[in-house]
Copies of this chain bind each other. A is one copy, B any other.
Amino acid sequence: MNKLINLEIKTDRRDQFIDITSRLEKAVGQSGVKDGFVLIFVPHTTAAVTINENADPSVKSDILGYLEKLIPQNSGFAHAEGNSDAHIKAGLTGFSQTILISNGKLLLGQWQGIYFCEFDGPRNRKLILKISSG
C-alpha cells in the first residue's frame, strides 16, 4: 500500500523551524501502514526538512541564528530576488528525509523531532508525504 499526501504549512517568519512530528505521526497512523517508511519531500527551493532535538527550543534558535551568521542574506549575491542565502541554506539542510515506520509509528530516536525549515518566509508552503509499506 502506498499513500501520497499533501500537507499545507503556513510559516510566519523569514527563518523558522516548525515541528511537524505529530502531523506525520497522524498521517502514518491514518495510512494503516505498520512497517515501511515515509518519504518527506519539500517541493520548494528555499525551504527544507530536517531532524533535530525536540526538547530545548533554544537548539532551534541556535541553529537558525548560526546559519544566518554563516550565510548572511546580504553577501553580495547576484540573484535579484535577494534570497540566495535561503537557496544555500535549503540545499545544505536537504529537501527530503526518509523515516522508518515500525509497528505503525515513526521510528525516531528519543530526542528526535522532524522540522520543516523555512528560510524565506513568511509563505504558504507544501510538503509531500509518500507512505510505503515494505
Contact = CB atoms under 8 A, between A and B. Distances in A.
Interface size band for A: 35 or more
B98 A96 contact: yes
Each complex incorporates copies of this chain amounting to 3
Nearest to A130: B100
A56 to B, nearest CB: 6
A95 interface: yes
A99 B130 CA distance: 10
Interface string A100-125: 10100001111110000000000000
A67 B94 CA distance: 15
Contacts of A21: none
A8 interface: no
A59 B43 contact: no
Nearest to A61: B78
A59 B82 CA distance: 10
Interface in A33-57: 35, 37, 39, 41-45, 50-53, 56
Interface of A: 2, 4, 35, 37, 39, 41-45, 50-53, 56, 58-59, 61-63, 66-67, 69-71, 75, 77-81, 84, 87-88, 91-100, 102, 107-112, 126, 128, 130, 132, 134
